[in-house]
Structure 1
């Protein structure tokens, strides 16, 4: 069974050492005159520092113990979940690794650098205010403004050691084929030599299910790569015992053995496709009821405060009638995707945006997008990638052919890396025709103006709120249409924060505005789903259904009645 407490529940080794906790720390220079609690960034309360001054360079240091006898025939891997934005890592003052990209993992084989007994890790993290790198919702001006919040600098996801084989598994990639009832399993390893790996599969059923042995593959790996196809048992009318659905989120475990290395992971047997302008999940029409989720916590910013906080957010969203979340401008902690997989909750995985268009915008975005998809490919809950949002970092995309080309490149990059999921190419407006989803953002949608969607052709050739739906020279190609941002209603009692358009003076006024527009999106049959803004308040943006501490502003049952309503009700 999956151990949810490991940093990567989808890629787990039995022998690992947690390096989270107290580290030595300093701003600007390696003085190490402070203490910090990793993996929380220095700007957060839970780091123990809680200083929001801008520091572009920060330093970390930690001692750890190694028994060299444990390394006989083994490799010692040092792993970082995410360091924002650029990291240089040293072991005993010898350079071990470098990485650019603030939201994706990296590792170093430090076997040859460690000594018997005490060893020292030093990390230099650099996070400048440049706007042509993926920043997401982190302000670059030195202060919070509009919908941009306190930044995250340095280590903000887990750090750990893994004891792997001398030749070790770097990645497992499972591509399910629901129609053929099989899975293509690809394995990437550290050696160029020819070696054999054995991969065994078993069901990890939803609650109440029965575990099954699903067979195994013998895979020959050469030049760092091997693959094989497993035919899954044909359960015919009992296929629900294996398929991943929202109602029964079954998973399939896979364990790969390579010489003296062993890794456990999992995937889900499910399909996502488009047919006649509708999105299908496992061959059935899917209506998506998504909540926009920024993934911030007051006390810990982008880092989840603990395991229960992740699970709580998903369960609260489900209780309000949502069947998924658009994780807005954030590559989440892998444990979030684990809980979405396990609880049956859809996720849109979204690239954090840049805010300036240069050649570096292309390089920086493309690099992190690749690492994002590679890390999270096996999570069945993720059904859509969002490569660009609202023309951020591509402000002239409506008329500029080079910016359109970048959006198209990122779309095709995502499709090349992952043929099993949909891609929203520029979510919100000014989209090119190279997108699987036509995504609209309309905070002006009110009960009195739903009639503007009477002619969807006029909308596609015009605008939903203020910006043109399509970039110049682009045509609508009958993609499914989703309202991927709307609502954002705040209360007048929240005097210091903001919401979209007029604030509601009472719960009754809030619901009188919310219910008719949500009913329209559900019942008009013009949309394949919606995404309401948003799950929680975040700092100065107080338009959440929940406050920052996750207390509800309205009765959850009332919200579930509205967001969970069926078209015939």
Structure 2
């Protein structure tokens, strides 16, 4: 079993080859493989099922101790009809520092465990079999790399889980012409019935144009041809019908992009976009000029058999279905840059998501943290910019002090400013929970389990008074929309005294549901709060505060949770109809 679906669903070409499956593999505990020239080796010691990390059962390895470095090797050939094309080698994600060789010749390097990278390998290929070798170096205890929820100790503990080393997303080849469409960026403008499209073409050439065709449910609704100036083409595509992408109502347009040379097609990409705006006013988050209370759930993106990698595309889709069955309309994608196909399903299903990086483990008490964080964060924003489901960015989460040293506020400030420069269409939370420096939305985390004490914290702001602020000596509220972005975390796994969760455990299912109802209704009924995020959708290893088990089995009747979560949605719908 391996992942076979197309890995980049919003930018699709026909000429591609999946390199997932059985690879040769070797653990390099001493990180000495380069000295030993393993990139020239005729074989490696073991085998692995790519793209599953060696810690996972699906990889066929299942080794869960620290690995300083790992090596991969496989042979491949090039389809006959690709012979006159440029060949690109793509990696969805490799944790953490990667070096790649083709036929013993180094192709390039990449630093970062969560974002895609690619190399052109055309000139290094030969007829017949070619050898691809990959080395990944990973040290999540260094303080120099974002690790997210990967445990920095031998054992998983608390809210840190099994590590991921090396390749964990699809590896694939792509054939492109000498000049090809490299990148696309979409900004929709529903009021003007248009979408602004910016395209980047690799390798400049005279007499290049790009033809754009938008379709809605198979019917053409817009067409335009743009000239390529240098390596860029930009312009507005007018559509004859405006259908808004909304939570639970995911109207999407197909987009066909054709690169023309002297009027003849030389490259083609299939894509899609949604007509959707996000704005902030009246201390609320507006989607398409309507206030939408975001009923979010924390999704960690872990799987019992694949760890960071979903066992199948269907498993990605199923997690969204499970969340929506409980009455949530979106998720915080927590301490991890999720794979593109998760966002694809969110786009297709009308499911709101917040993009977040895996900052835990990275020392941000000085500027070196910025140098390690920012390049990969820019790659993440660039990769996911076009997703209509993605309604906000949150680069950092809970930036706690390190050994008594405070965060460098400039690291957060600069990251916020860079994110806003890259994307002016979405709100940015500088750091979720603490400690805010500059943020579009003020969010807090609170795991109080006593419903009365929890409600008391928010009572004054619900009556027009002062907002509840955690760590008031370190951050202050400045009138932004207010988001309780982590709460709950109610520990529920009867008979498991070794599990981990927040606060005291309920003594019965009835007590759990009463507590869930009380905590959630406190937030739903407070007019000063615009969004919540419940911790969490499913258990992960020893953390047993999910609404589903780690195997995605419901702990409670979904209808009961859905009825609680959906109360404010019904109120908002009634208000919208009246207006």
Structure 1 equivalent of residue 477 of structure 2: 476
Structure 2 equivalent of residue 217 of structure 1: 224
d(CA) in 1 for partners of 2:473, 2:376: 26
Which 4+ stretches in 1 moved above 4 angstroms? 392-397, 457-464
Query: Aligned runs of 1:500-511 on 2, under 5 Å?
Result: 500-511=502-513
Shift of residue 132, structure 1, vs aligned partner: 2.6
d(CA) in 1 for partners of 2:122, 2:226: 27
Structure 1 equivalent of residue 238 of structure 2: 231
Structure 1 equivalent of residue 16 of structure 2: 16
1:291 to 294, 297, 302: 297
2:146 paired with 1:134: yes
Aligned pair in 2 of structure 1 residues 394, 218: CA closer, same or farther (>3 Å)? farther
Matched length? 546
Compute the TM-score of the two structures, normalised by the length of structure 2. 0.90
Of 388-397 and 26-35, deviating more is: 388-397
Structure 2 equivalent of residue 442 of structure 1: 446
Structure 2 equivalent of residue 329 of structure 1: 335
Shift of residue 395, structure 1, vs aligned partner: 7.9
Structure 1 equivalent of residue 61 of structure 2: 49
Deviations 1:289-347 (A, max 9, x none): 00000010010001011011011100010000000010100111110000000011000
Structure 2 equivalent of residue 369 of structure 1: 377
Contact between 2:461 and 2:467, CA under 8 Å: does it hold in 1?
no
Q: Secondary structure at the match of 2:173?
A: strand
Q: Secondary structure at the match of 1:562?
A: helix
d(CA) in 1 for partners of 2:170, 2:61: 18
Of 276-285 and 454-463, deviating more is: 454-463
Deviations 1:488-528 (A, max 9, x none): 01124332211100112221010111101111111121210
Shift of residue 250, structure 1, vs aligned partner: 1.3
Query: Aligned runs of 1:282-431 on 2, under 5 Å?
Result: 282-355=288-361, 356-357=363-364, 358-392=366-400, 403-431=408-436
Contact between 1:299 and 1:305, CA under 8 Å: does it hold in 2?
yes
Query: Aligned runs of 1:155-174 on 2, under 5 Å?
Result: 155-174=167-186
Deviations 1:359-386 (A, max 9, x none): 3310121011100011111110000111
Unaligned runs of 5+ in 1: 205-209
Structure 1 equivalent of residue 576 of structure 2: none
Structure 2 equivalent of residue 451 of structure 1: 456
Deviations 1:426-456 (A, max 9, x none): 1113212x21111111101531111222223
Contact between 2:198 and 2:234, CA under 8 Å: does it hold in 1?
yes
Q: Over aligned residue pairs, what C-alpha RMSD do you find?
A: 2.2
1:154 to 166, 172, 176: 166
Contact between 1:523 and 1:567, CA under 8 Å: does it hold in 2?
no
2:277 paired with 1:271: yes
Shift of residue 193, structure 1, vs aligned partner: 3.4
Of 349-358 and 538-547, deviating more is: 349-358
Shift of residue 286, structure 1, vs aligned partner: 0.7
2:110 to 99, 103, 110: 99
Deviations 1:259-282 (A, max 9, x none): 422111122110000012111000
Structure 2 equivalent of residue 33 of structure 1: 45
d(CA) in 2 for partners of 1:176, 1:393: 40
Aligned pair in 2 of structure 1 residues 462, 215: CA closer, same or farther (>3 Å)? closer
d(CA) in 2 for partners of 1:339, 1:294: 16
Q: Secondary structure at the match of 1:455?
A: helix
Unaligned runs of 5+ in 2: 572-579
Contact between 2:461 and 2:468, CA under 8 Å: does it hold in 1?
no
Structure 1 equivalent of residue 246 of structure 2: 245
Shift of residue 178, structure 1, vs aligned partner: 2.2
Aligned pair in 2 of structure 1 residues 56, 183: CA closer, same or farther (>3 Å)? same
Deviations 1:371-416 (A, max 9, x none): 001111111000011111111477879x66xx21211111111111
2:180 paired with 1:179: no
d(CA) in 2 for partners of 1:528, 1:199: 41
d(CA) in 2 for partners of 1:301, 1:95: 30
Of 503-512 and 313-322, deviating more is: 503-512
d(CA) in 2 for partners of 1:344, 1:469: 36
Contact between 1:498 and 1:541, CA under 8 Å: does it hold in 2?
yes
